[in-house]
Amino acid sequence: MIAAAALPGGVARAASSGLELRGEATLRTAIEIEDGDVQLGELLVEPELSGEVTPEISWTVIGRLRIDAADELEPGDPGPQDGFRSPVNRRLFIGDTTDLELREAYADIYAGQWFVRAGKQQVVWGQADGLRVLDQVNPLSFREFIMGDFEDRRIPLWMVNAERSFGGVTAQFLWIPDHSYDEVPADGTYAVTSPLLRPQIRPQPGQAVRFAEADRPDRLIVDDDYGVRLTGFSDGWDWSVNALYAYGDGQVLRQARTPQAVTVTPDYERTLLTGGSVSNAFGKATVRAEIGYVTDRFVLTNDPQDTDGIFETGEASGVIGLDYQVDADLLVSGQVFAGVLTDDAPGLVRDQVTGTASLLVRQEFLNDTVEVEGLLLQSLNQGDGLVQLGATYKLTDAVTLAAGADVFYGNRQGLFGQFGEADRVTLAVTYGF
């Protein structure tokens, strides 16, 4: 999380035309604590080029070059990862260790009372930090599970994002024709093994297990995602009301059994997410809350009477957080997340009510040149969790050094505990240009 430290890079004017070039280059490594194996040996370069066409129209393009010499996170041919993304949103792989990606490319247009951002971009909804209730517009990369900033893990999508103010309320409209979804490695250090997410198939003697190609939505307009958000400020409270009509970003792993084989066919299902968020500051304390309801949640089940291993239900979820700024340099933040399935059934692999708690402590030293941070994520059901520790040091205006550790603990069947052998320490140096 903290190893890939952000660094405000300087801005270099490429020419008198108004073009601006900036970016970061990060050299990062991760060493596994248990056996000393190199988990990550990465060079990440992210240039950003921007300019203006007219005072009302500007544009931005952000690229990414990644070279990971360790090749443990997406080992071998990473081509199968393409299956999670639409044809217009895929990385270009060069061998097993290198990939190129157009991260973002959009135009900002001011037209009367309207602001429109059109192109490949990220859209952030909600007030939660690290736990997602409403922040569901962009899918995520799970290449390093949940380690890393959301900004780096979100997969930008091609979309039209239009906003207009009506008095004290701002309305946002999203049209997303990019059918890309969560990117989950099939192999490697953070390949999912938990029965909460992956069906545990026990074939009969002579019965094969097959994984079919994912059935992905691909029809323009009909399969596109659409979102609306209203935001405002009333009596000291920032608030939002959100609705997202979209395909869920996670695969639904349906099973079909014959005497010869068990075939798992991943597909994606349409859902409607509705909800809202509020936040307010009271002196040194800030209160944040989100609630949401998803009409269709697809949960794995081990019920032998279930024909496809999937149980469909709705889910209400919410998160409440409290940030306390102890002084100018010390921040303490806590959150509690809860999800409740509206229906229950025998054999479900998850509890009807689930919870996760988080605690973040961040301290700055030496005129903000040194930052030390600790984050605890604790499952309230399986008892497993993740501890992340990190420190950054701004060596110069352009160079930041970082070190950190990610330690999983608890039930090896849990979301966090499944990666109990992947504990690691990280080192990084970032140069901003």
Q: Count CA atoms closer than 13 A to 62's CA, side-chain side.
A: 19
Per-residue confidence (pLDDT) for residue 278, from 0 to 100: 96
Opening angle at CA 323, ends 318 and 328, nearest 5? 165
Residue 167, pLDDT above cutoff 60: yes
Residue 166: partners with Cβ closer than 8 Å, 6 or more residues away: none
Q: Delimit the domains of the chain by residue range.
A: 21-432
Per-residue confidence (pLDDT) for residue 280, from 0 to 100: 96
| Residue of 5 and 372 predicted with greater confidence | 372
Per-residue confidence (pLDDT) for residue 219, from 0 to 100: 95
Q: What is the CATH topology of the domain spanning 21-432?
A: Porin (2.40.160)
- Residue range 44-78, pLDDT digits in tens: 999 999 999 999 999 999 999 999 999 999 888 76
pLDDT (mean) for 292-306: 93
How many angstroms separate the CA atoms of 295 and 276, rounded? Answer: 15
Indicate the DSSP class of residue 140.
B
Single-letter amino acid, residue 384:
D
Beta strands 261-267; 208-211: pairing state? parallel
How many angstroms separate the CA atoms of 104 and 8, rounded? Answer: 18
Which tokens sit at 354? 């689930």
Report the predicted TM-score, pTM, of the whole model to 2 decimal places: 0.91
Indicate the DSSP class of residue 323.
E
By C-alpha distance, which of 182, 166, 3 is closest to 81? 182
